[in-house]
Amino acid sequence: MALPGSGHLIHISGKDNKKKPNVYINSIILPAVCALLNSDGGTIEITEIELDVRSIEQVIKNMIGGIAFFTSIKIKLADHKISVNVKKGAQFTTVNYNLFLPTEKQIISIETTDSMKEIRRVLLHRGIVEDPVIQGSHLHNFVLNKASGLAESEVVQLKSLETKPSNKAKTNTFAKRMLSDKNKFCNYISGFANHRGGHIYYGIDDEGVVTGEKLMEKDKQEVIVEVGKAMEKLIWTESRISPKQGVDWEIYFENVKDPEGEEIYVVVVFVALYRGGVFTGEPESYYIKKEKVEKMDYNSWWKSFMSGEFSRYYFIKPCNMDSVTWSSEVNKTFFIKLSEKLVDHRDAGDSDSFDKLCELAVTNFKESNAELVVKAGRVTIAYKSGNAELAKTLLQEFEDLLSSSKDQSIFEVRLRLSQCLVARSVENYKESYEKSKEGLQMGQNIPPGLCLLWLYLECAMNAACLAFQNQSEVKRFSEMKKEALVYLEEAARVANTLIDDEIPYRITDFQHKLCIYKVWVLINYSITGEAAEIAPSREDLTAASVELSTVFKNQLNGNSLTKFREIEYYLAKSDYLTRLSEIMEDKMEKKKRLQDAIHEVLKAIEKAEKKFKKLFEYAIRRNKTLEERIKLCMDTKCNQSSPRTFEGLKY
């Protein structure tokens, strides 16, 4: 089986190596293989060390499975050198998930060869869970050396850490023994939290007999502190949420009845079901950066795993600022309601209602950041109307107001959104792209909401714009296009989060917008009407037709388009029809598609005139281009249909 020799080249030298062969393979070679699978493939050359090829094969096979090994890996031994040829993997590769689930008798780790679809189901499950373990539902009464009535299960683990007399001199405290790697405390917490919740009982042996633990008050306090630290070290969901004692977990010290009257306890640790995944550490995966193997950070891993493949271009790390929340639920709700209502008026072209609502909000809701919401809305209006100077002025006024807000950190994120619009209004696409990504980076530290949703959409638009700036580099164009599509998928994910959290927003309009923007990215078009010289694939054209059909079906189901979105829809349909005309071999069919495209553009012109200046300009530009194409198609050759044939004969 021939594998490509191109791609990355990684040199690994065993000179001065002091690691055992199996440790060397797992810690050095396996990460390199993972990195190549996740990147563009390549070759690993291993020199100055004697390693068993069979051992290397086995370790790699254990990570990716037999079929993937057969299709993606080829190992050669020649001239005291081991060459591992790696083809880019068919799916994203992880070395270690650090994720667990419970069975009746043990906690099992999620394996790297397990179905990614099923693992995603564990991480993203939001349905009803049967019989979740409830806090306070544990057993309370215990008698020393008597059967407790408990047995290990998917929600119960029994542990007896009582030390034997011969070992007492060299034992750690109860808390240290409880949390040692040997006793797998974190594995149990991860397993229970990822399933239905559960209890760990310390002081009960495997047979269910109460052995108890002798604890003084200082021992109990140490347990509470150390368990709290252990809980914080775990990774709770994509957002790395800090778990709350008394809600997500709790510790109970239950007295054991002892004939001798000693202070003996059963220590019960409760963990609740926790949606979103609880990891014992960061999942381990790698990629190639500047021809070196680089460990992936958690945020990058999550996005790669959810999308199914790694691309270095679209990962956003949280910035160094602390996570922030709204100063009050009132301010959070007000921001959503006012922002959405202003967008309603804006997209309806109703400037009178927009202005009146702005005045009402600023007059009556100063303490709820009304001025900032209004300024941001006016920046967007100025951008959409093509008034760059006014947009800049309003942006400066927005910045001047920031320091007076109790929610300054959140509005700093909103500021980046407005800055990227202003930069794009003067066609500074690189700055617009950088501002949107900066905002998105800051947005990882605020609660998921409208700002994050809008920023993902802006990042998608800016990535698409930059793709047009890189048309001479097909690979870079393809990467930027992929980046834009991933941002749109991330926007959809955030939108689903808002629905789950019951945050009110214009769901239907967002769905329409997402479909329309996807069409433009898929067919290599921009909202302005510019078409990339790089033609879309037939698969992308088919995917674009599905998105347009989704909008059409939504309309049939009573989910009408806003006036602004309706114009965008006409423009997207026109662009799609134009692309279709390019692959038509029959000249009459080509002309028909172009005429259909003009028909859609004329509808956009009629709707946009006097209300949406920028969209009107974009429509006029398209109309001019299409008329030129039609004119070229009006000669004799174009008016003639392609010859009809049957079994190779013309008729």
**Which of these three, 252, 271, 290, is where a domain ends?**
271
Please report, in angstroms and rounded to a whole number, the separation of the first and last CA atoms in the chain.
48
> Is residue 203 domain-shared with residue 141, that is, in the same domain?
yes
Q: In this structure, what token pair is assigned to residue 58?
A: 């086995």
> Is residue 120 domain-shared with residue 228, that is, in the same domain?
yes
DSSP H helical ranges for 294-407? 298-307, 329-347, 351-364, 370-385, 388-402
Percent helix / strand / coil, the chain, rounded to 5: 55, 15, 35
User: What burial class does residue 427 get, using C-beta atoms within 10 Å of its C-beta: 0-12 exposed, 13-18 middle, 19+ buried?
Assistant: exposed
| Structural contact between residues 444 and 316, judged by C-beta atoms closer than 8 angstroms | yes
* Alpha-carbon distances, residue 108 vs 66, 195, 315 (angstroms): 21, 12, 30
> Is residue 55 domain-shared with residue 176, that is, in the same domain?
no
> Is residue 148 domain-shared with residue 214, that is, in the same domain?
yes
Low-confidence ranges of the chain (pLDDT < 70): 1-6, 16, 126-127, 162-171, 311-323, 499-505, 635-651
**Domain assignment present for 37:** yes
**What's residue 169's pLDDT?**
47
User: Phi and psi at residue 525, in whole multiples of 5°?
Assistant: -125, 160
> Is residue 233 domain-shared with residue 106, that is, in the same domain?
yes
C-beta neighbour count of 463 within 10 angstroms = 26
| Residue type at 87 in one-letter notation | K
Closest-CA residue to 324 (of 490, 467, 171, 444): 444
| Structural contact between residues 437 and 417, judged by C-beta atoms closer than 8 angstroms | no
Strands 249-257 and 142-143: parallel
**Domain assignment present for 245:** yes
State the Cα torsion 235-238-244-249 to the nearest 10°. Answer: -60
> Is residue 79 domain-shared with residue 195, that is, in the same domain?
no
Q: At what angle do helices 351-364 and 370-385 cross, to 10 degrees?
A: 160
**Which of these three, 271, 294, 329, is where a domain ends?**
271
User: What burial class does residue 203 get, using C-beta atoms within 10 Å of its C-beta: 0-12 exposed, 13-18 middle, 19+ buried?
Assistant: buried
**What's residue 139's pLDDT?**
96
| Structural contact between residues 506 and 495, judged by C-beta atoms closer than 8 angstroms | no
* Alpha-carbon distances, residue 621 vs 305, 602, 617, 624 (angstroms): 41, 11, 6, 5
| Residue type at 422 in one-letter notation | V
**What's residue 319's pLDDT?**
62
**Domain assignment present for 221:** yes
| Structural contact between residues 65 and 116, judged by C-beta atoms closer than 8 angstroms | no
Residues with Cβ within 8 Å of residue 181, at least 6 apart in sequence: none
> Is residue 152 domain-shared with residue 194, that is, in the same domain?
yes
Give per-residue pLDDT as tens, 237-254: 877 888 999 999 999 999
- Cα separation, 347 vs 340, in Å, equals 10
> Is residue 159 domain-shared with residue 200, that is, in the same domain?
yes
User: What burial class does residue 329 get, using C-beta atoms within 10 Å of its C-beta: 0-12 exposed, 13-18 middle, 19+ buried?
Assistant: exposed
Q: Residue 176 is inside which H or E element, if any?
A: helix 174-178
Q: What CATH number does the domain containing 129 carry?
A: 3.30.950
| Structural contact between residues 384 and 372, judged by C-beta atoms closer than 8 angstroms | no
**What's residue 630's pLDDT?**
86
**Domain assignment present for 114:** yes
Q: What CATH number does the domain containing 45 carry?
A: 3.30.110
**Domain assignment present for 65:** yes
* Structure letter (DSSP) for residue 27: I
- Cα separation, 336 vs 348, in Å, equals 18
Q: Residue 266 is inside which H or E element, if any?
A: strand 264-272
**What's residue 165's pLDDT?**
47
**What's residue 113's pLDDT?**
93
* Alpha-carbon distances, residue 554 vs 131, 274, 340, 502 (angstroms): 38, 35, 20, 22
> Is residue 127 domain-shared with residue 211, that is, in the same domain?
yes
> Is residue 74 domain-shared with residue 142, that is, in the same domain?
no
**Domain assignment present for 32:** yes
**Domain assignment present for 61:** yes
Give the domain extent around 52. 8-86
Helix (H, G, I), strand (E, B) or coil at 215: coil
> Is residue 69 domain-shared with residue 147, that is, in the same domain?
no
- Return the half-sphere exposure (C-beta side, CA atoms, 13 A cut-off) of residue 94: 25
- Cα separation, 316 vs 313, in Å, equals 9
**Which of these three, 217, 240, 271, is where a domain ends?**
271
State the Cα torsion 609-611-614-620 to the nearest 10°. Answer: -10
Residue that has been written with the tokens 């405390």 in this structure: 185
> Is residue 260 domain-shared with residue 125, that is, in the same domain?
yes
**Domain assignment present for 534:** no
| Structural contact between residues 495 and 449, judged by C-beta atoms closer than 8 angstroms | no
**What's residue 636's pLDDT?**
47
How many domains, the chain?
2
